Amino acid sequence: MSLKEKVIVITGASSGIGEATAKLLLKKGANVVIGARRKERLRQIADLSKDHVAYQVTDVTNLNSVNSLVKMAVDRFGKVDAIYNNAGIMPLSLLSENHHEEWQEMLNVNIMGVLNGISAVLPIMHKQGFGHILATDSVAGHQTISTAAVYSGTKYAVRAIMNGLRIEENKNCIKTSIISPGAVLTELYRSQSDEVSARRLQNMWKGENKTLSADDVAQAVIYALDAPERVNINEIVVRPLAES
């Protein structure tokens, strides 16, 4: 199957996995509609191929904002072949530290952001008679470690939501995929409120084979998107070689 001229909406597209996926899709001839909070970073991606990129500042915790991004895709390119719900944050802390505001923000971004993306595209995909909904999950959605209880909880929720979506929507020819990476060298460490924790996370990621690159994960996204129409790749887990 060819990705040429397919229309892919990507949230969390201003850096990391979202940015890498957008750039790889452009190389393959797709049209991308990118959303994130940082307008200047989005503009830099759009400058790579103005005929094939539309962008808009997007807050995934706000349904109207996500609806507007999806509407832009339809207005500009006439359809939505897929949405990649990629926006996410990962502030880590012990439960005993009671970072209630961080917990709430993770629920809003990591869970409601995915639900808002689903809500925005389902009416369009039902009308089209096809579509593909993807989300970034994590190996933290398969196992939990100290300091990551709430983050893991959000990612377990994404797995459950996406599996429910698969069960409900396969009759409508709508595919579902989650991409569950291990450690990825991105700007995710910046969501740490504590600078010491952020540096510790960066140090953990240093060293050969300890982390994936954003491009590595983008290749997994492309694999799911580029499967034959009869194939629904529901889940991909991808880890660095050195990750146990």
CB contact set of 211 (below 8 Å; sequence gap of 6+): 182, 183, 184, 185, 205, 240
Place of tokens 């923000």: 105
Percent composition of the chain: helix, strand, coil (DSSP 3-state, to 5): 50, 15, 30
Question: Phi and psi (nearest 5°) for 103?
Answer: -60, -45
Task: Choose among 14, 13, 113: nearest CA to 59.
Answer: 113
Distance CA 87, CA 241 (A): 25
Active site residue 84: no
Catalytic residue among 55, 84, 151, 189: 151
The catalytic residues are: 151
